[in-house]
Structure 1
């Protein structure tokens, strides 16, 4: 072998072994795993679900003990998140950060063999709707976590990042080439990016083409998808045929303008919901996510970044305890239902289809429905529906959603059943002022699925979040429930 051939082979081997290498970057798939559910998948079942479907990278939104233990020696690389409410204490003291890293990173790496690669400091902390709440704590928290990782001897193994919403950059020209960071946070963004760059850490950005369609009824539908036919957006010599590439390259232009043209970027969240809005449906989700998986498997970049990047699909499974403040669709991003059942089929690469979760056990096969003898004009009906939907997820009943075409009686039955299932079919839970009864006949209709929840008593699970304890916008929730009552009790 000649010297030149040897050097070429050596260079190729370095690419394969490098974390940033082109070859390793396109092997396997990445996914977000959230746990804001009244009935979360048992951690070992969820990890098996990830592995069975080819996911070798996962992002957690918090250091969930059960998840981190189950991921130990799984062969899955982990990004562990720090919720925004922890930013202030972490920013106040390096010791707080040292304690956090020891408790949530070092211990899982050493005791369980969990392959933690990233710590995500905060989650979209500069979102404009947060009104600067985390503006002064995000960067100090990031610096302290980095210092804590170095002190723990993990500075090279575990990298820090900050998952940001795409609203941190904009373009005045309407074209990707005009991209720059928001003027109100420009200086802060440059400081954070320089810090990440100095520590060989990536920037993480969340991109949601669905939200472009959700926010603007005149947005060209096809432009939200990768295989759309809309007229391209022409930006100099580049033609953009989909909003994902245009959005991502707007960020790349912003980085280039500010001297960070080679800054590594991770797409932390991208996906499509299946319910809770007329544009959130199974057909659109299948169309978007199949094209997304295809381009990941091809190792396809964007016009300005040919090198593929890590892309974390959002999300593994539905989460019925998430806030509906952004929209009712928030609880329906999963490529699987809450229990790991398949919503729609995808080719995950090499002709491999999605595989459902294994080992899931369910409560008794019975549903709580509106009694045939009950009247829609019963004065107790509105309060009963309001009570049920205050403690259970009724977002599938909204306009354009999977259960949006039910008649009034079926709407009430759906609300009653969701409450009954959410409280684990508790004795007396199907008792709404003599308006309800139990049935063993599945009341599901067409696209509307009447759930039976998993039996959490059959396996060890992390503590469940109660709806009462969830951070929620009370006004938004009450408005939603009031709208549901008008839909369900339309006879009034």
Structure 2
């Protein structure tokens, strides 16, 4: 009976994502009170969420996704990168986690998530990317599945004005070859962009409306190109585009692999602010940025609050749904 009630709660949830094909939702599993994988997939299907990001090739999740028509981004986390510098291991990974599931619509493989210059695993990133790409190409899946990596905006320096955006010196050393690899293979760069953390780290210079897409007018104009910015999301993304230009890849696409706002646990972390952010982000990505027009593919972070997640308390409160399946926000695309 409890499972039936939970499923009914899913079905009447007010977060309506039907019709927004550029929007996905990240499914993190760092919680001891979350619904089963099968129930989660039903929630995605019932709400019309057509894309999912997961953070490891969890076999019960993959089993539940079979035949679902949900497009999937699967992540390979830092501890696995060293092993994938061996080509045979990469081939085995692709066989076990991709080829054994022909009825799942894999879209991206994110090799590494938010690696930084000081991480020991950074030196394994490019070889792992190359070996996974080789294995995907050997399976003749290179047109269906794009191999990339997910970065965060701490790799950037000089982000104001956006046209000054560049990778920091240490980040540039490992990112330039990766950017070339992505361009050669027609893959986008995946980027986790959080205006929330920029706001809480620098509230003197960044206003809450600028971070929440609610500024009534232009907040800043880039003096180098006269582009006008009304929200921080656009400024951060265009800073990344400027950095990619300087790295020799002016035409590289960026997919937003995470973006969200917490509902509790920190400064500015309220249900009202989070609901405002998600609604406005969904509306905003239809149009692109001042520098790059056109719809942006984006993945909201995240499906659920995760009560066992490491880090500050705020990290546990990014869910669009609470653990019992109830929607936290009334966000609609209609």
Is TM-score (shorter-chain normalized) higher than 0.5? yes
What are structure 2's unaligned runs of at least 5 residues? 1-18
Matching residue of 1:285:
274
Q: Deviations over 1:84-125 (max 9, x none)?
A: 11011112x10111111111111012xxx1111111101111
User: Which of 312, 315, 334 is the aligned partner of 1:330?
Assistant: 315
1:346-365 to 2 correspondences below 5 Å: 346-347=331-332, 349-350=333-334
1:47 aligns with 2:41: yes
3-state SS, counterpart of residue 113 of structure 2: coil
User: Which of 101, 104, 107 is the aligned partner of 2:97?
Assistant: 104
Q: For residues 201 and 47 of structure 2, what CA distance do their matches in structure 1 show?
A: 32
8 Å Cα contact 2:108-2:145 kept in structure 1 = yes
Superposed displacement of residue 138, structure 1: 0.9
Q: For residues 91 and 215 of structure 2, what CA distance do their matches in structure 1 show?
A: 48
Superposed displacement of residue 63, structure 1: 0.3
Q: For residues 288 and 101 of structure 2, what CA distance do their matches in structure 1 show?
A: 33
Superposed displacement of residue 309, structure 1: 2.0
8 Å Cα contact 2:22-2:297 kept in structure 1 = no
Q: For residues 238 and 66 of structure 1, what CA distance do their matches in structure 2 show?
A: 47
Identify if the C-alpha distance between structure 1 residues 278 and 184 changes in structure 2 by more than 3 Å, giving closer, same or farther: closer
1:12-161 to 2 correspondences below 5 Å: 27=21, 29-91=23-85, 93-109=86-102, 113-126=103-116, 131-161=118-148
Matching residue of 2:308:
321
Across the two proteins, how many residue pairs are aligned to each other?
A: 313
Matching residue of 1:248:
237
Matching residue of 1:453:
none
Larger Rg: 1
Superposed displacement of residue 150, structure 1: 1.7
Q: For residues 34 and 202 of structure 2, what CA distance do their matches in structure 1 show?
A: 33
Matching residue of 1:342:
327
User: Which of 168, 174, 187 is the aligned partner of 1:188?
Assistant: 174
8 Å Cα contact 1:266-1:311 kept in structure 2 = yes
What are structure 1's unaligned runs of at least 5 residues? 1-24, 351-492
Superposed displacement of residue 53, structure 1: 2.1
1:455-470 to 2 correspondences below 5 Å: none
1:224 aligns with 2:211: yes
8 Å Cα contact 1:69-1:114 kept in structure 2 = no
8 Å Cα contact 1:28-1:55 kept in structure 2 = no
Q: For residues 213 and 338 of structure 1, what CA distance do their matches in structure 2 show?
A: 27
Q: Deviations over 1:222-253 (max 9, x none)?
A: 11111224761110311111110000000111
Divergent runs of 4+, >6 A: none
Give the alignment's TM-score, normalised by structure 2. 0.90
Using CA pairs under 8 Å that are at least 6 residues apart, name the structure with larger relative contact order, 1 or 2: 2
Matching residue of 2:183:
197
8 Å Cα contact 1:29-1:54 kept in structure 2 = no
Aligned-pair Cα RMSD in Å: 1.6
Superposed displacement of residue 308, structure 1: 1.4
